[in-house]
Amino acid sequence: MPRQKKNSRAQNSRTRSRLTLKKKSFLFRPIFNFARHHVYLSALLTLLLALLVINLAYFITFKTFPILPDTRALRIDTYFTTQNMPLAGHGKTFVAVADSCGMDWRLLPAIAVRESSGGKRMMNHNPFGWGGAQIPFDSIEHAITEVGRNLCGDNPRTSRWYATSSTQKKLYYYNGTVIPSYPDEVHWIMKQF
């Protein structure tokens, strides 16, 4: 008798394990049935997957990802054009000056909007109000280049104020000591580009 109990226990455990296997494989059964009955289709899907992996590996190895065009100058010019501002068409100069020292490309155009409404009220080709708007420039490009050089910290006479990389500090020294809200106003304009 004890022997029968032992066998029945073993038989019960085998039955239980078969049931759990059936429960676990229940989710995968449709996939296996599909593969068994559609051998050609599963072979085709495997081949397509292999080709996809090979093409992806080739693209990553030998091809470079497409470079998106730089739209910063266009965004500046579009803003000035839609607002009927005379600085339209100088977007490339603004971007080139900003890139020369790693300055935010929106800073100079935003200052020009704040100081002279984008050149509508500029004097002496000075849309930035630089030097109390009393410093004359030969052209708008010259003004952008010179004011940008100062804000980049490249002018030894003004570098102690503008050599910092913080846009907030540059705006504070530019006119924030006189008008406390000036940095926030220019930041708001920068977001419009």
Identify the pLDDT of residue 122: 87
Identify the pLDDT of residue 9: 55
Identify the pLDDT of residue 10: 53
Q: Cα 181 to chain center, whole Å?
A: 28
Identify the pLDDT of residue 158: 86
Identify the pLDDT of residue 110: 94
Interatomic CA distance for residues 135 and 128, integer angstroms? 10
**Residue 48: Cβ-neighbour burial (10 angstroms; 0-12, 13-18, 19+):** exposed
**Alpha helical stretches, state H, 26-105:** 29-37, 39-62, 72-82, 91-101
For residues 28-32, give the mean pLDDT. 59
| Band of residue 52 on the pLDDT scale cut at 50, 70, 90 | confident
- Tell me the per-residue pLDDT of 124-152, one tens digit each, with 9 for 90 and over: 999 998 888 888 999 999 999 999 999 98
What's the CATH code, domain 72-190? Answer: 1.10.530.10
Q: Are 140 and 87 in contact (CB under 8 A)?
A: yes
Interatomic CA distance for residues 95 and 103, integer angstroms? 9
- In this structure, what DSSP letter does residue 64 have? P
Residue 79 identity:
Y
Poorest-pLDDT segment among 39-53, 88-102, 109-123, 155-169:
39-53
* Mean residue pLDDT across the chain: 80
Q: Confirm whether pTM is higher than 0.85.
A: no
Identify the pLDDT of residue 79: 93
| Band of residue 94 on the pLDDT scale cut at 50, 70, 90 | very high
Domain residue spans of the chain: 2-62, 72-190
Is residue 19 classed as helix, strand or coil in its secondary structure? helix
Query: Is pLDDT above 70 for 19?
Result: no
Portion of the chain with pLDDT greater than 90, in percent: 30
